[in-house]
A and B are shown apart, each in its own frame.
Chain A
Amino acid sequence: AQTVTQSQPEMSVQEAETVTLSCTYDTSESNYYLFWYKQPPSRQMILVIRQEAYKQQNATENRFSVNFQKAAKSFSLKISDSQLGDTAMYFCAFLDSGAGSYQLTFGKGTKLSVIP
């Protein structure tokens, strides 16, 4: 079974600064996808960024980018120019694309606070 670990329960960052959220995972599979989801106080789950394991290039979406280290099974999220609206819970998630089930396995989350 796959596991996802987020070792930082809470983090804070000054507005306009950069912050990195950590995520490690454990799997024996070779074909998989990794995601970062954001859950603001409204509790709506919002997809932030996606990474395919077979791609070496790190995914980027505007101010959000990942550092994907496949050998180390690490998938960190970098948020640049942090904004107050980035305040939320952030969840790292894993999907085994070869299993046929497509279920997401989530970490426990990191609570990010952006300080004005």
Chain B
Amino acid sequence: NAGVMQNPRHLVRRRGQEARLRCSPMKGHSHVYWYRQLPEEGLKFMVYLQKENIIDESGMPKERFSAEFPKEGPSILRIQQVVRGDSAAYFCASSPRLPQSSYEQYFGPGTRLTVT
């Protein structure tokens, strides 16, 4: 059973460009979470999605950031008009349809975004 997949692993964008980060959850998982890790910091929650629904986006910046988890395909975190402060590691995690069973979230390897 493959783990959570994220691509690309490394992404370099110039200021003003768009960044698209992809996350494929573990097989059978229908809940996806995105977290951001700034240098020397812990992970910060951004958004929680189920298939075709955003459940909690309380951690998402109000502008330029959006996320989706379509019925088919991976979850996408999209950052428009990137700025240097967006440089960070972005982690995706997934959990089963019924997270109440253990509340464990399984993390992907992360995407390191560098904005030049």
A contact set with B: CB distance below 8 Å? 4, 33, 35, 37, 42-47, 50, 91, 95, 97, 100-109
Question: Which single residue of chain A is at the shortest CB-CB distance from B105?
Answer: A104
* CA of A27 to CA of B104, assembled, Å: 20
Contact residues in A for B105 (Cβ distance below 8 Å): 102, 104
Known interface pairs A33-B103, A109-B42; A102-B109 also in contact (CB < 8 Å) = no
Q: B66-93 CB contact bits vs A (8 Å, 1 = yes)?
A: 0000000000000000000000010101
Contact B43 A101 (CB under 8 A): no
Tell which of B43, B58, B93, B104 touches A91, judged by Cβ atoms closer than 8 Å: B43
Contact residues in A for B102 (Cβ distance below 8 Å): 50
* CA of A33 to CA of B75, assembled, Å: 26
Contact residues in A for B1 (Cβ distance below 8 Å): none
B69: min CB distance to chain A, Å:
14
Contact residues in A for B8 (Cβ distance below 8 Å): none
* CA of A58 to CA of B48, assembled, Å: 29
Question: Which single residue of chain A is at the shortest CB-CB distance from B91?
Answer: A45
Contact A50 B104 (CB under 8 A): yes
A108: min CB distance to chain B, Å:
5
* CA of A83 to CA of B107, assembled, Å: 23
Contact residues in B for A104 (Cβ distance below 8 Å): 33, 35, 43, 45, 93, 105
Contact A47 B48 (CB under 8 A): no
Contact B89 A106 (CB under 8 A): no
Question: Which single residue of chain A is at the shortest CB-CB distance from B42?
Answer: A106
Contact A45 B107 (CB under 8 A): yes
Q: B44-60 CB contact bits vs A (8 Å, 1 = yes)?
A: 11001000000110110
Known interface pairs A42-B109, A43-B89, A44-B109; A102-B48 also in contact (CB < 8 Å) = yes
Contact residues in A for B35 (Cβ distance below 8 Å): 104, 106
Interface residues of B in 14-70 (CB under 8 A from A): 31, 33, 35, 40-45, 48, 55-56, 58-59
* CA of A107 to CA of B48, assembled, Å: 19
Contact B103 A95 (CB under 8 A): yes
B96: min CB distance to chain A, Å:
11
